[in-house]
């Protein structure tokens, strides 16, 4: 897939953050596997040290090591997931997530550049990021399309039509003409302001 079709660089996207027991060792593993580091060295965040890397298809992911001491765990381990959007898209994306879709900002202490979000039951949901201060701002994804190469966050809904209407009214771009049937229900594809992809699924 990545040999002929690559994810565009420095555009809005959805992302996965992996957690490492030893970030320096993980960097060596990534390099030996052919991943391309997109940050020249680990950078410090509010919760630890991180790097960004691109896989063989050019899709960018994060790898982090927490500043908090923790027992060793089996790797790979997903730490969280979220959206990366241009700075100009942060405000309209927050309106979409908070006012239209009902997610709750957990705290403002990490912003800029990051806002963690909670579900309505106060469980952790995902992150919203813009670029770090040493990085260039991301570009909007000009022509997002459903099933595009990369990561897409998936939300679930008990009423797909109502959620789709709320998302579109809240500023999301719909990427489907209508709901698509899947084995366990239906799905629709969207993009946030700035073009980070997400889907909404409903089960039968």
Question: Tens digit of pLDDT for each residue in 35-64?
Answer: 999 998 999 999 999 999 999 999 999 999
pLDDT band at residue 188 under the 50/70/90 scheme: very high
**Assigned domain for 69 exists:** no
| Domain count within the chain | 1
**Assigned domain for 112 exists:** no
- 67 neighbors 47 (Cβ within 8 angstroms): yes
Q: What is the predicted pLDDT for the residue at 2?
A: 40
Q: Which CATH number goes with the domain that contains 178? A: 3.10.180.10
Burial class (CB in 10 A: 0-12, 13-18, 19+), 20: buried
pLDDT over 70 for what percent of the chain? 98
**Assigned domain for 28 exists:** no
Question: pLDDT tens-digit profile of 84-118?
Answer: 999 999 999 999 999 999 999 999 999 999 999 99
Strands (E) in the chain, as ranges, are 13-19, 36-37, 43-44, 48-54, 60-66, 77-84, 104-105, 114-118, 124-129, 153-156, 173-174, 180-182, 185-191, 197-203
Mean pLDDT of 128-138: 94
The answer to whether residue 144 scores a pLDDT higher than 90 is: no
Provide the mean pLDDT of the chain.
93
Dihedrals φ, ψ of 201, to 5°? -115, 145
DSSP state of 11: B
pLDDT band at residue 201 under the 50/70/90 scheme: very high
> 185 forms bridges with which residues in the sheet?
182, 203
CA–CA dist 6, 4 (Å, integer): 7
- Radius of gyration (Cα) for the chain, nearest Å? 17
Mean pLDDT of 155-161: 96
**Assigned domain for 190 exists:** yes
**Assigned domain for 189 exists:** yes
CA–CA dist 156, 23 (Å, integer): 33
CA–CA dist 37, 95 (Å, integer): 32
DSSP state of 139: B
**Assigned domain for 130 exists:** no
CA–CA dist 35, 60 (Å, integer): 10
pTM of the model: 0.92
CA–CA dist 114, 155 (Å, integer): 20
CA–CA dist 194, 34 (Å, integer): 29
- 152 neighbors 141 (Cβ within 8 angstroms): no
- Residues of the domain holding 175: 153-203
The answer to whether residue 1 scores a pLDDT higher than 50 is: no
pLDDT band at residue 4 under the 50/70/90 scheme: low
Mean pLDDT of 166-171: 97
**Assigned domain for 109 exists:** no
**Assigned domain for 164 exists:** yes
């Amino acid at each position: 897939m990545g040999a002929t079709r690559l994810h565009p660089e420095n555009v809005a996207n959805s992302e996965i953050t992996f957690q490492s027991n030893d970030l320096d060792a993980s960097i060596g593993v990534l390099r030996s596997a052919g991943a391309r580091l997109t940050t020249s060295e680990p950078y410090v965040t509010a919760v630890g040290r991180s790097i960004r890397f691109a896989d063989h298809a050019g899709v960018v992911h994060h790898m982090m090591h927490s500043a908090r001491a923790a027992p060793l765990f089996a790797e790979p381990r997903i730490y969280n997931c979220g959206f990366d959007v241009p700075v100009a898209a942060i405000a309209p994306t927050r309106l979409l997530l908070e006012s239209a879709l009902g997610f709750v900002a957990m705290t403002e202490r990490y912003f800029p550049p990051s806002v963690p979000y909670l579900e309505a039951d106060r469980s952790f949901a995902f992150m919203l990021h813009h670029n770090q201060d040493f990085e260039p701002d991301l570009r909007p994804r000009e022509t997002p399309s459903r099933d595009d190469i990369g990561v897409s966050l998936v939300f679930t809904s008990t009423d797909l039509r109502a959620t789709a209407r709320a998302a579109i009214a809240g500023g999301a771009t719909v990427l489907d003409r209508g709901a698509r049937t899947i084995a366990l229900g239906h799905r629709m594809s969207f993009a946030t302001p700035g073009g980070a992809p997400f889907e909404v699924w409903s089960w039968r």
